[in-house]
Structure 1
């Protein structure tokens, strides 16, 4: 899941930076733009290396995804149990790491696929949209990446949440029994609600993150530090997490208790009728905390990994030239 290292202008840009601000750009011009903007003029002069961007995105995305999931899994488990509980049902605090191993088996390829698709899609879209509408390129790329990753994310999420709520003791058992009772469609329970939540989430989170980084770099006139990337990632994650909590509640109910509802609309109507509007904000505290901290770690690790890959590539290219 991640944006590239952006350079501010011709004096501060790196040779490998995929997005470069024009050197004549100043704060007064930038302030008149509807969105933070990037210039792709240099990139238009040479073809985008999609295979390299894909490869580096896969490595960086997979690394960041595994680190975040391992560190914050207990918070996610608490959030899931809060959302799945009806009325005043008690929450169990044991087994907060239930399903982690199986979930990592899905998180690694899903995160890798997301960033691997997001990065080249973003680069292509940035050449298609006007400079002052770069936000739409980030929104669209986030949705495209999320759609691709959903093919892995949904089965992983179904198994994880059933284990978090105590329905199964191991991932292999969960997959086997789900397939035997419900068939392959059981692994994609709540797929529609998952897309309803995750496509807007991915699009909004990455748009906020990318635009804030561009704006911050324009003001600071330098590359951002790891802590700065982490803070921006935390803010983008927390805001997006809060906004999409109602969608997350619907997704959780359909995945964990899908047989009790007849689709997304029926699920929403049932929750509203039986539990009231407040039920749609269940788990908002753990969710915002989890995604806020997760965004900090994810984007921090992502940017650092991408920078290391870029530096390694530069060294290799220098050795070849010698």
Structure 2
């Protein structure tokens, strides 16, 4: 049952880092949802406007509970199951810790985590996309200014979406979410694992310094790989009937915004992803070793 310790360590490390960087996640969502740049144009202007209108808590709190839930489900499974899945593929004869095994392992854990935890991620995106300053029960700022909140709080959001959209509503955008997580996980974990492996062979000590260096590179590579799917996922999850399916959404983005539309919000996404990985993976590695007595990944 060592994989339970793997998942718990990954979830705990993700919860810590996702809390720290939740403002950047929310800015990314708002930029992706506001495709016409009505309120938010870029990272700096978006962050400044939210801070001026809603304060520091307005940047930090929206979607935070859902972010914690996502850390212990989607991210916990994505990172935590990687060593076990890699050993499984190795025993099945796919190779001895080669690049193909790493890519397949990362893609598998990313897909599995995203498919299982899609409702949590959907609620996080919706809460962050519609967030704003409340006055007299309606939003005074944000993309839904003049409207009341669609959900009273995070647990209620699950009930509301189920009642209004059915069970399928909770898995809206799951294919785009799975595609994003598969690309993210395979790129990130393969880069991280490969960098560590090459550095150790070159004489580096497998420890925090190596984990930090590998993490920074893996975060940047991962965000480049998954960004188009990330934009599609966010638009579909927030669209509520605007798009028939992710491919329809992708076609609309390409037609209306061109290829650059798939990288809308890349700056805050990368500004979050790289430091998140730089903080998250070393923390996960230390939790694995010191709290659960596991080897480094």
Q: Which residue of 1 aligns with 2:38?
A: 89
Across the aligned residues of Structure 1 and Structure 2, the Cα RMSD in angstroms comes to 2.0
Q: Which residue of 1 aligns with 2:208?
A: 226
**Pair 107,152 (structure 1): closer, same or farther in 2 beyond 3 Å:** farther
Q: Is the 8 A contact 1:99 1:170 kept in 2?
A: no
Tell me which of 3, 22, 39 is aligned to 1:73. 22
Q: Is the 8 A contact 1:72 1:290 kept in 2?
A: yes
Give the whole-Å Cα distance in 2 for the aligned partners of 1:70 and 1:191. 24
Q: How does 1:110-189 map to 2 (within 5 A)?
A: 110-127=74-91, 128-131=93-96, 134-166=98-130, 167-189=150-172
Deviation for aligned residue 1:205: 1.1
Q: Which residue of 2 aligns with 1:196?
A: 179
Deviation for aligned residue 1:309: 4.1
Q: Return 5+ residue gaps in structure 2 as ranges.
A: 41-48, 131-149
Deviation for aligned residue 1:98: 0.5
Deviation for aligned residue 1:271: 1.7
Matched, 1:213 2:196: yes
Q: Return 5+ residue gaps in structure 1 as ranges.
A: 1-50, 314-322
Tell me which of 234, 238, 247 is aligned to 1:256. 238
**Pair 183,312 (structure 1): closer, same or farther in 2 beyond 3 Å:** closer
Q: Is the 8 A contact 2:115 2:174 kept in 1?
A: no
**Pair 181,279 (structure 1): closer, same or farther in 2 beyond 3 Å:** same
Render the CA deviation track for 1:201-227: whole Å, top value 9, x for unaligned: 11121111100100011112x423313
Query: What is the TM-score when the length of structure 2 is the normalising length?
Result: 0.81
Count matched residues. 260
